[in-house]
Structure 1
Amino acid sequence: MPRSTLTREEIVRTAIDLLDDEGLEGLNMRALGKRLGTAATAVYWHVKTKSELVLLAGDQVWDEIELPDLDTVDWRTAAMKMATGLHAMLSRHPWLVQAFGSYLFYGPGKARHDDHSLAVYETGGFAGTDADRAAAAVFTYVLGSALGASATSSLTRRLSRDGGEAEELIQDTLAKANEVAMRFPRLRARLATPAAGYNAAPEQTFERGLRALLNGLEAERDGTP
């Protein structure tokens, strides 16, 4: 594709697809150019560096999160929707969780989300820094909840690149971990449950934890001991 017909928007969309498939370590201008059907040099006319490309891609995916209308839903419903929307977005793009440790993200996509998040908690009666703390607490919880899936995705790719069968290696590690767990009563009792899987947790763990967090924030707002 000639650089005259290539657009930054198309480059960013393709970069997101590449990141979803190959992770941060798989993103480079040559691989991106191949997906676009053009030379890597053509990409450089629109995006100068990999870092710039990651920042552009990382900001665009925030637009996938639906912002609830605060005139039609209560703040708790809005907070749940935004948190579950953020969790779903991070699950679709696990590379973004990893990128938080290496890149400083900013842009209109993330700003749009963050501004509405503050509006949710202000609507819920959290004023000033209390709204900031509430929004930050929920964001941190969601980010931590998405970390397991992100780590598993990255690990699976690395094991495959190293020449191994990722699933086989993971299962072998689980078998060894289960042998260790047999020595501990509470872990032993859970070996036959879904929680025994690699980076696994019982169903609805995220939803129940989120509700508990919002309950705590609400109680603190109301001065409930």
Structure 2
Amino acid sequence: MEKPFTSVWTRESRPAKSPGLSRDQIVRAAMEILDAEGVDALSMRRLGAKLGSGATSIYWHIAHKDELMELVMDEVYGKVPLPDPEVTGWEDMVSILAYGLRTTLSEHPWVIPLIGTRPSLGPRAMDLSYRMQKAFERAGFAGPMLDYTLSVVLAFVLGWTGPEIAWRATRERSGLTGEEMDAAMRETVHRAARDYPEVVKRYDEHPVQDPEIVQALAFDFGLTCILDGLRTRLAAGQDDNRRFTAPPSTAENDESAKNMM
């Protein structure tokens, strides 16, 4: 039976054929293409042309494009700076992760659709998870809450940053400034929401603003809500662990029943 998932991180990397390419060189070149032109522009042929090398040299290190995407994803995770969890409180760790990841995703927007398509098993992703887990453990998070806390923070940042980046790209394609786009949107909102005067009234109460500043302030608000919620859950302690513990799977129940017979 074919394995449902294999990873570049589960096999040893091959040494470079002197004076051939190294895996690091390949990853750096792939990142340059992705940052400049996006995922659709990246192919093994294009990568080979950029490196001035044939596909054989690339395939010596990387079996296929899926492995390459694992490598570049981990490279992105490595750009999120996190301090030592032994000397940094969990709330500061969450804030540093959230702001750092938001910045990193904005610099490498192509990675957002890839997250979740494959497990993040690289050393940089593992280090990020370890540091956050350590910070949460030191604070007193345990059981299911220990697993859920990081997932909640990551989901917030990813869910926020994806639309933010998409709208920024739309604005850049329009050639308008942020304030000009905001003003143009107001006219459209007035026409589209004419049957909802309360919506129009609320929209008109806000002056034309730089959307980058508005987005930053709204992100701050969202992160503050996340931190407030996690503090409450931490105070609830074991009651929350019982509340959010999933029941055993049907397969596990069936196996337990067999063992009792």
TM-score bracket, shorter-length normalisation: 0.7 to 0.9
Flag the 1:187–1:202 CA change in 2: closer, same or farther, 3 A. farther
2:84 counterpart (69, 78, 87): 69
Distance 1:221 1:200, change over 3 A: same
Match of 2:223 in 1: 210
Instruction: State how 1:9-158 maps to structure 2 within 5 Å.
Output: 9-100=24-115, 102-152=117-167
Q: 1:179 aligns with which of 191, 216, 220?
A: 191
Take 2:165 and 2:18, find their aligned partners in 1: how far apart are those partners? 34
Say which is worse superposed, 143-152 or 53-62, in terms of deviation.
Answer: 143-152
Q: What is the rounded CA distance, in whole Å, between the counterparts of 1:134 and 1:14 in structure 2?
A: 35
Q: What 5-or-longer segments of structure 2 have no aligned partner?
A: 1-16, 238-261
C-alpha distance in structure 1 between counterparts of 2:216 and 2:200, whole Å? 17
The residue that corresponds to 1:161 in the other structure is: none
Q: Secondary structure at the match of 2:140?
A: coil
Per the TM alignment, residue 182 of structure 1 is displaced from its structure 2 partner at its CA by 5.3
3-state SS in 2 of match to 1:5 = coil
AA partner of residue 51 (structure 1) = D
**Is residue 85–residue 93 contact of structure 2 (8 Å, CA) maintained in 1?**
yes
The residue type paired with residue 100 of structure 2 is G
Please tell me the root mean square deviation across aligned C-alpha atoms, in Å.
3.3
Name which one, 1 or 2, has greater alpha-carbon Rg: 2
Query: What is the CA distance between 1:12 and its match in structure 2?
Result: 0.5
Deviation at 1:168, TM superposition (A): 5.6
User: Structure 1 residues 115 and 71, CA, compared in 2 at 3 Å: closer, same or farther?
Assistant: closer
| Whole-Å separation in 2 of the counterparts to 1:194 and 1:77 | 29
| Uncovered stretches (5+) of structure 1, i.e. residues with no partner | 157-164
1:161-197 Cα shifts (integer Å, max 9, x gaps)? xxxx93269x6x95655632455433454365348x6
| Structure 1 ranges of 4+ moved more than 6 A | none
Alpha carbons of 1:7 and 1:202: their partners in 2 closer, same or farther (altered >3 Å)? closer
TM-score (norm 1): 0.79
Shift of 1:218: 0.4
1:57, distance to aligned residue in structure 2 (A): 0.6
Q: Contact (CA 8 Å) 1:15, 1:27: kept in 2 or not?
A: yes
TM norm structure 2 = 0.69
1:213 maps to a residue whose letter is I
For residue 134 of structure 1, what is the amino acid of its counterpart? T
